[in-house]
Amino acid sequence: MKTDTLFYRLFKNAPELLLELAKLDTRDSHNYRFCSEEIKQTAFRLDGILTPTEKDSDLPILFAEVQFQPDQHFYSRFFCEIFFYLHQNQPQQTWQAVVIYPTRKTETNGNRHYAPLLNSNQVKRIYLEDLANPEPEKIGLQLIQLIIVEEKNALKTAQNLLNRIKIETDQKTAAYWLEWVETIMVYKLPQLNREEIQKMLGYKDIELKQTRFYQDVFTEGEAKIILRQLKRKLGPLKPSAITLIQQLNTNQLEILSDQLFDFTTANDLAVWFENNL
C-alpha cells in the first residue's frame, strides 16, 4: 500500500486535514494550496508544501512529510530541502514543518544535530497511533484512521465511517467522502476491484465518477503523481511518454500506479505502453 501517496492526494484535496493534524486553525484552509516542488539544481524534492496565497502572508508555509519507514538520514535530508527552498524562493511567510509518523517507534533520533528545531514550535511531529479513537464528528481524522488501521479491521471501520458520513453530511459532501473511503479500501485490499469493494461496503456506484472531484483526483491528479514517481525512478521522461500518461483513463492510471514500482529502465515503461494501450 503506497501510504505516502495516499496521504498527499488526500491533503491536496482536503488541506484542512493537514491543518487539523497540526492543530492549526482549519478556517484558513481555503487560503492554502497544496503541491510538491523540486528544489532546483539539487536532488531534493519536497513532496508536500501547503502555501498560503500572497494576500495571506501572515499564514505560515507548511512543509509536510509522511514518513512510514525508519530512515536514519530523514531529518538531515528534510531540513536541507526546507532550507534550500527558503533560500531559492525567499518567501515572505514564516514556516512550519509537519512530520507524520505511524508510531513513535518509526521515528529515528535526530536530537544530536537538530534538537533545537525538533523541540521548537517550528516542527510538529504527529504520531497516528494517537488517533486510535478520533471524535465522531471529525470525519477527516476518521478517514486517516482508516488508512492506518490493520487490514483485518478495515472493512468494519470503513462501514462504520460510511454510516456516519451518510447520516451527518449532505449529499455533495457525502459523495466526496464516500469516494475517499472507497479509494482507501482499494489501496488496502489490492486483490479486490472497486465493484467488489463497493459490494462489501454495502453501496453501489452512485455515479460518483461523474463528479468534478472524481475527475480532478483520479485523472489529472493521479497522472501528476505518477509522472513525479516515474521521474524519480527513471529520470526525465520523453515528452511523448508524458503526453501518453496524461491521456490515460482512470483504470489505466490505476494499473500503471500499481506496476510502476517494478520498473527499472525507461524501456519498462515503453513495454507497458505496448501491452496496455
Residue 36, helix vs strand vs coil: strand
The pLDDT tens digits along the chain (277 residues) read 567 778 888 888 888 888 888 888 888 888 888 887 777 666 677 878 988 876 667 889 999 999 988 899 999 999 999 999 999 889 888 999 999 999 999 999 988 999 999 999 999 999 988 887 777 678 888 888 888 888 888 888 888 888 888 777 776 677 778 878 888 888 788 777 777 777 787 765 444 444 444 455 556 667 877 887 788 778 888 888 998 988 887 778 878 887 887 888 889 999 999 888 7
Note the pTM of the prediction, 2 decimals. Answer: 0.65
Contact 59, 31 (CB under 8 A): yes
The cell 505502453 sits on which residue? 273
Question: Would you give the DSSP letter of residue 264?
Answer: -
